[in-house]
Structure 1
Amino acid sequence: MSIHLTLLCAPGGDPTLDPLLGDAHLSEDSMHMADAARAVLSPREPAIRAPSIRCSETADAMGLVASSEPMLRDLNVGRWCGRTVGEVAATDPDGFTAWLTDPDATPHDGESVRQLCRRSADWLSSVAPHTGHTVAITEAAVIRAVLIDALAVPARAFWHLAVPPLRAVFLTWRGGCWDVQFGGVSPQEPRRRLLSRRATLAVGSA
């Protein structure tokens, strides 16, 4: 069985502004960043994307024809959607702290981190054998959740996984588990194998 997935994190808007929770159009700088990656990925590679505006615009800027996959949608932040991180932290400090420390917390009345991890794990397990290589453009939260499952680490590690814009996570199904590599979409930034589920099984499950 051969499964090779490249997960790319869509840029999340203007990085100079207080991060906005929820969907948003790409900033001009983010569009340029995605366009610069066009030469690295073949437009003929099978591609899927989260159903958000930013993931659609990222795929277009990279010249990829990507079908929308609902299971890759972003974490639902409920009534916090459209607000900035700073605003939420200032007006609901207890809820914001709970959100960052308890994977079951839903202070926004939306989706918990653990629920997102389960949804992402369901998607990962649904990928068909002999898929070959597929590119998935999705959200930082979804990539964190996929890593939680692929590396079999606790859900409380979710916020400790850094997922920079357009940095790639390479997943390969091998020997009954996922091998994980990190890299970029620049020719000068080679793949670096950093983690494998085999090396993290002792940590325990989410």
Structure 2
Amino acid sequence: MLFSHDQACHQCAYVGKASVLKLLCYASDLPSGVRQGQLPGACEQVACALDGQKVVDLLPSSSHLLHYYAPDVALPASNAHCTQVEDALQDRHYGVWAGRSLRDMSAAEQLSFLSDPTFAPPEGESFSAFCRRTTQWLQAVGQMAQPAVVLARPAVVRSLVTYVLYPAEGSVTMAHAARVDVQPGSYSLLTCHAGQWRVGMLNAPA
């Protein structure tokens, strides 16, 4: 899926006139309980079936890629590239609500959780704090000129993509996130050139 310049650009740190940062984001599988309607926990390392040949096809001129990965994603056993764990790429922290279903919440809890971006579950993280954490990481990595791969859960990839698509608000909102779907096992490409972030590809299948 391709986007126009106006739809999919956002200012990032300038990395040189000829430099283009390519960030290939791979969305891992979902945590096991999510398909049963449960909020995910941070302890489970979900599977990540990254296809090395697919990476070569999408980043053909790159070698010895740095792989940024979240601690809640299991690295592929065959990965031979340099790796760097990034706590900022973890899924949202749901605190004591991890493993809990929305059906088990009171009406007031559901309303707060689904409509208030500043609401945080007990010992957990708000939607706003989660998005701020991931987008601050993206802003920092935008200063790099070398292509890289991100291995993270779908919610994290969605947060990064949404930040690039909707820069005018200054932060990702719940309404923006609801307009973007990132499928497990898919590839999305973000690029930064001449101070602008763009979405070059979204949800390419494995």
When normalised by structure 2's length, the TM-score is 0.71
Query: 1:39 and 2:53 equivalent?
Result: yes
Instruction: Give, in whole Å, the separation in 1 of the partners of 2:34 and 2:90.
Output: 24
AA of the residue aligned to 2:88 = M
Aligned residues: 173
Distance 1:118 1:16, change over 3 A: closer
Instruction: Give, in whole Å, the separation in 2 of the partners of 1:75 and 1:145.
Output: 10
Q: Which has the higher helix share?
A: 1
Match of 1:102 in 2: 116
- Counterparts of residues 57-206 of structure 1 (less than 5 Å): 59-61=75-77, 63=79, 65=81, 66-81=83-98, 83-84=99-100, 87-127=101-141, 129-151=143-165, 152=167, 154-156=172-174, 157-180=176-199, 181-184=201-204, 186=206
Matched residues, percent identical?
Answer: 21
AA of the residue aligned to 2:21 = I
Q: CA deviation at 1:78?
A: 1.0
Structure 2 unaligned regions, length at least 5: 1-14, 57-62
Q: CA deviation at 1:62?
A: 5.9
AA of the residue aligned to 2:202 = F
Q: CA deviation at 1:140?
A: 2.1
Match of 2:69 in 1: 49
**Contact (CA 8 Å) 2:25, 2:157: kept in 1 or not?**
yes
Q: Report the 3-state secondary structure (helix = DSSP H, G, I; strand = E; otherwise coil) of the residue aligned with 1:178.
A: strand
Instruction: Give, in whole Å, the separation in 1 of the partners of 2:35 and 2:156.
Output: 22
**Contact (CA 8 Å) 2:142, 2:192: kept in 1 or not?**
no
Match of 2:12 in 1: none
Instruction: Give, in whole Å, the separation in 1 of the partners of 2:127 and 2:33.
Output: 23
Instruction: Give, in whole Å, the separation in 2 of the partners of 1:163 and 1:174.
Output: 23
Instruction: Give, in whole Å, the separation in 2 of the partners of 1:16 and 1:71.
Output: 21
**Contact (CA 8 Å) 1:100, 1:159: kept in 2 or not?**
no
Q: Report the 3-state secondary structure (helix = DSSP H, G, I; strand = E; otherwise coil) of the residue aligned with 1:166.
A: coil
Structure 1 unaligned regions, length at least 5: 187-206
Q: CA deviation at 1:105?
A: 1.6
